[in-house]
Amino acid sequence: MSTETTPIEAWASLTDVEKKTTFRLLPRSEAEEIFLNLSSHDQYELLNDLVPLELRSWVRLLAPDDTADLIQEFQPEVRPQLLSLLDEVARKEVIALLAYAEDDAGGLMSSRFIRLRPDMSVDEAIRYIRVQARTPVEMIYYAYVIDSTQRLEGVVSFRELLLSPPNKLVREIMETELTTIPEDMDQEEVSKRISNIDLMALPVVDAEGHMKGIVTVDDVVDVVKEEATEDIQKMGGQQALDKPYLRMGYTQMVKKRAGWLIILFFGQMLTATAMGFFENELELAITLALFIPLIISSGGNSGSQTSSLIIRAMALGEVTLRDWWRVLGRELGLGLTLGLMLGAIGFLRIWLWPGAEANYGEHYMLIGGAVATSLVGVVMWGVIAGAMLPFALRRAGFDPASASAPFVATLVDVAGVVIYFTSASLFLSGTLLK
């Protein structure tokens, strides 16, 4: 009875071609079970070459919110045809749902929930729920109490209904202190609100308090995943993809990635400009060039550690804009500690290297000093840039996740070149640098 892999997991391991074939060969009941558990895009892949008559039975299987998601996968010109496959009631609901932006609470909600009137008795309510449960409803755990103008008055849990005397009124047992979701709330906010509260569903209302639908916690799981995916992709230094990796077309992929790569490339060109100013020093002490990648990358690495911590802490609401000075204080201390560690290792690397004098010249101890000092400076600059860039971006109204590792590294590289050659001038003037 307990299975090692579920049918859905087995299905997921098939290739696209195998899926299409298997789907046609499976008995209807098994095919339905798999179909209902697929994402809208996967459903689309299975259906997109069926004729309308075959399509109808599949589309009618779905709840209105899932139908709306599926229809959005199709090209705009075939959508009216799909809507015409639905029955009258479902078509109206789906059209209403299609009107919401996909990222709003309205786009996430289901309009099939259990309704009660405040002046029903508990006994009447239970019988009324029984009737409603015959048509698909998203959630039978809470019933929503609505007045004659569709305004939400309260919520009753099923447990309360079962435990209350049959002749009490719904009005007397309902909870009226409600947490609701405005219909235009962004889905990221919706998911924060639901996961902060120990309820399986929250009601969505418009500005006048009219009940529009419910958002359930299982819809939120998908949102939480989606938002994390977007952040991770942005933090890699690119635009977030809107499809799974293997489904992105070649041109789309180039578009999502080339933009940031080119911007960062222009930023990096400043390193060449900065180094141009120090060409004299380089010519006098060519050994200095050997440590450039080591130094600037250490700054980039410490910066990308910090920015990934801060971006995630912001997304989870652990750190808010007004915490910037606390973060700065911590990171300054940390940067100093980490910088001293790397500086010490760098100095030892040059000092103790077999044949240090032959490789780096008679002033190798001074070069070691310059490298170590630059490392402290560059790591500190890295953590400051990595910590403050997400705050600056959010303050300016951008997504903090755009403070990607490559973005921070580019900022730090240019500064790193300047820090390195400045400290080299201090250590080596009068010896290597005349």
Comparing CB distances to its own copies, the nearer of 107 and 300 is 300
* Residue 240 CB-density burial (10 A; 0-12 exposed, 13-18 middle, 19+ buried): middle
Q: Does 329 bind its own copies (CB under 8 A)?
A: no
d(CA 217, CA 200): 5
Nearer of residues 83 and 204 to its own copies, judged by Cβ: 204
Residues 145 to 174: which contact its own copies by CB under 8 A?
A: 152, 157-159, 162-163
Identify residues 60-79 at the interface with its own copies (CB under 8 A).
Answer: none
Per the structure block, which two tokens stand in for 100?
A: 């919401």
Q: Is 252 in the site for its own copies (CB under 8 A)?
A: no
Per CB under 8 A, 410 contacts its own copies: yes
Name residues contacting its own copies, limited to 260-299 (CB under 8 A). 260-262, 264-266, 268-269, 271-272, 275-276, 279, 282-283, 286-287, 289-294, 296-298
Nearest C-alpha neighbor of 256 from the set 245, 267, 270: 245
Among 241, 328, 332, 356, binds its own copies (CB under 8 A): 241
How far are the Cα atoms of 162, 165, 274, 344, 382 from residue 126, in angstroms, in the given order? 8, 12, 76, 74, 63
Restricting to residues 84-143, which ones interact with its own copies according to CB under 8 A? Answer: 129-130, 133-134, 140-141
- Compute the least distance from the CB of residue 255 to its own copies, in Å: 11
* Cβ 317 to its own copies shortest distance, Å: 7
Phi and psi for 204 in degrees, rounded to 5?
-100, 130
Segment contacting its own copies (CB under 8 A): 50-58, 68-76, 95-103, 337-345? 337-345
What is the rounded distance in angstroms from the CA atom of residue 142 to the CA atom of residue 148? 19
Per rule CB under 8 A, is residue 340 in the interface with its own copies? no
CB nearer its own copies, residue 150 or residue 180: 180
Q: What is the four-CA torsion angle of 43, 47, 48, 49, rounded to 10 degrees?
A: 150
Hunting for tokens 């560690």 — which residue is that?
A: 341
Q: Does 182 bind its own copies (CB under 8 A)?
A: yes
Q: Which span sits near its own copies by CB under 8 A: 2-10, 48-56, 80-88, 117-125? A: 2-10
352 touches its own copies (CB under 8 A): no
Residues in contact with its own copies, counted by CB under 8 A, come to a total of: 128
- Pick between residue 52 and residue 276 the one whose CB is nearest to its own copies: 276
Distance, CA of 424 to CA of 434 (rounded, Å)? 12
Cα 281 from Cα 302, distance rounded (Å): 27
Sign of CA dihedral 265, 271, 274, 280: negative
